[in-house]
Amino acid sequence: MLKDISIIGVPMDLGQERRGVDMGPSAIRYAGVTERLEALGYNIEDLGDIAIAPRNTRAKQSSGDEHLKNLDEVAEANNKLADAISQVIEKKRFPLIFGGDHSIAIGTLAGVTKPYKNLGVIWYDAHGDLNTAETSPSGNIHGMPLAVSLGLGHPSLTGIGGDQPKVKPENIVIIGARSLDKGERELIKEKNIRVYTMHEIDQFGMTKVMNDAINYLKEKTDGVHLSLDLDGLDPSDAPGVGTPVLGGISYRESHLAMEMLSEADILTSAEFVEVNPILDDKNRTADVAVALMGSLFGEKLC
C-alpha cells in the first residue's frame, strides 16, 4: 500500500435515522488513529471532514423521492466526497475514509473507481446494502450503497461521479453477511455476487474465507477497495453501531482478516463506517476500528 495516507471524515447521519453516527469520525480520531499509523511509518495527512448541514435544516431542504429519506442531502454530501477522493488519488495518496453511516460508500466508490477499469470491492458487513427504493423496507439509503454502485437506484445517486456503474458484480466480495432482505437475496443470485455469510466463516474458518476472497479478486482486478462496516463484527466486540446483528465476526477473526489483506498488498483505498459513540461503551468501537486499521496497515507483534 502507498505510504502516504490522506484521511477524510464524513460526519454523515443522513442515510439512517439513529442519531450519533455523525460523531464517528471524531471518535476514530480520538482513539488515536493518526498516532498509530504514523508509528507504522506512514505519512498521514488529515483533510478534516466533509461539510454536512445540520439535520434540522436538512429536513426542510429535501425535495427528493419520498421513499428515499434525505435523498438530496445524501447526494450532495457524496458528490463532495467523490470529488475530495479524486483529488487525493491524483496526488498518488491512499484514501482512508471515516464514517458516518454507510451511505458514504456511494461517494467513496464514485471517487476511488476512476483510475481503475476493474476495481474490486471487499464489503465487510452484516448487511448486503443491496437494496433499492423498490426493495428497501425503510427507505434508509445506508442500506443501498452497493446497489447504487452497481448502477441500480435513483439517478441522483447512480450519477455521482458519472452515470456508469462504479463496480462490476463479479468484482464484489461480501464477507460476514447475516442479515439480508428478500430483494437483496434475489439480486445476489441474479448478479452472481460472491458472498461469504457467517455460515461459511463458521464452517471453513476465516483463513480459508480470506484466502478465497483474495485469490478471487487478485487476478482480475487492478485495485481493491475495503468497505468495513463495524456492524460486521459481533456486537459483543463492537457495540457502538446503529444496526447490530448477533452472531457476527469476532474481534480476533477480524484482525486475522486485516492481517491477511495487509500481507496480500492488494488494497488501494479503505473506509471504516457506522461507528456511533452515542451507542458505544467508552469509545470501545472506535478503539476496535483503530486496532483493525493497525493490522490492516502492517502492525505486527514482533
Which residues participate in catalysis according to the annotation? 102, 125, 127, 129, 142, 229, 231, 274
Burial of 130 from C-beta contacts in 10 A (0-12 / 13-18 / 19+): buried
Within the chain, what is the greatest distance between any pair of CA atoms?
Answer: 55
Is residue 227 within 8 Å of residue 107, measured between CB atoms?
Answer: no
Would you give the distance in Å from CA 93 to the centre of its chain? 18
Spatial separation of the C-alpha atoms in residues 270 and 111, rounded to whole Å: 12
Q: Which residues contact 273 (CB under 8 A, 6 or more apart)?
A: 24, 97, 98, 99, 100, 101, 102, 104, 105, 227, 228, 229, 230
C-alpha cell at 72: 438530496
Beta strand ranges found along 68-208 (DSSP E): 94-99, 119-124, 172-177, 194-197
Spatial separation of the C-alpha atoms in residues 152 and 166, rounded to whole Å: 11
| 165 DSSP assignment | -
